[in-house]
Structure 1
Amino acid sequence: MTTDKEDPLLFEKWLRNFFVDPNTSFIDFQTFRLDVFEYPTHYLLEALFEKKHVINITISIDMNTLTILAAGSDGSLERSFTFPFSIEDRTITPELSTDALLICVSKNTIEKGTPSIWKLEVP
């Protein structure tokens, strides 16, 4: 379900269903764990790579879907997260930390010309 306008109650219900879905845990195990947090001004996606050796990460945005492709010495792992609304014009800020990728998606700030693809090298 995709809407152009963000509805906080819809997102809360949708997020609850995301975490209750048994498929989410299966995908966490098969690829990498993805956690989602909601804050007053933004959403935070946390991709945890833990014991996986990741060399570079590509993040792409397509309407309401954010895709993370993590490439390493053992191959590539891909994971998508679909919001119930478009995120194409949001301010999106990726940040690498030890064994994790943090992606901040703004709620209120709309930024025209936000990149749709980021390529990050893991130190």
Structure 2
Amino acid sequence: MKSKKNIQPIDFDLVEKWLENYCLDPLTTQDDLTQFRIDLYETDKEWIVEALLNEYKSSDIKVFIEDKKLVITALKPSTSSNKQKRVRTIQFPFEVINQKVTAHYINGILEVLISKSEKGLGKNCYITLP
């Protein structure tokens, strides 16, 4: 019999503080300039991560969730050894793998939706882009 991992409730006050600190972090601005820009939003039902990736096609983009991290990788295929690989990792104050995560890519904007109430798979995985 498999043992179920206890899912900890999300401390929303901790998430609010994390969002505030993340937005004020000067390294975030540096990554926006050198990698690609991301914005974080919160609604009543979910957290939203938007990435500006207008140089890429959806097939060039990978979204991976690992424990408390969301990793977005964009890699343009190229015949030369100078591939344009860009990566952003966002460390959350909760287990992202325990939340339902979906993503879509339209007109150069990747939108990753992390549900506040719906449970996820509970394991590291790639999120498929439609």
**TM-score with structure 2 setting the length:** 0.81
| Offset, 1:113 | 6.2
| Structural RMSD (CA) | 2.2
* Mapping of residues 1-123 of structure 1, within 5 Å: 4-50=8-54, 52-54=55-57, 55-72=59-76, 73=78, 74-112=83-121, 116-120=125-129
Gaps of 5+ in 1: none
**CA distance in structure 1 between the aligned counterparts of 2:51 and 2:20, rounded to whole angstroms:** 18
Separation of aligned partners in 2, 1:102 and 1:6 = 22
How many Å apart are 1:112 and its aligned residue?
3.2
Identity of aligned residues (%): 29
SS at 2:49 equivalent? strand
The CA distance in 2 between the partners of 1:21 and 1:111, in whole Å, is 29
SS of equivalent to 2:97 = coil
Alpha-carbon displacement from aligned partner over 1:41-64 (angstroms, at most 9, x marks no partner) = 1111000124x3445111111100
Which structure features the higher share of strand residues? 1
Aligned residues: 118
**TM-score under structure 1 normalisation?**
0.85
The alpha carbon displacement at 1:21 in A equals: 0.7
- The DSSP-based 3-state class of the residue aligned with 2:94 is coil
Bigger radius of gyration, 1 or 2?
2
Runs of 4+ in 1 over 2 A off after TM superposition: 52-55, 111-115, 118-121
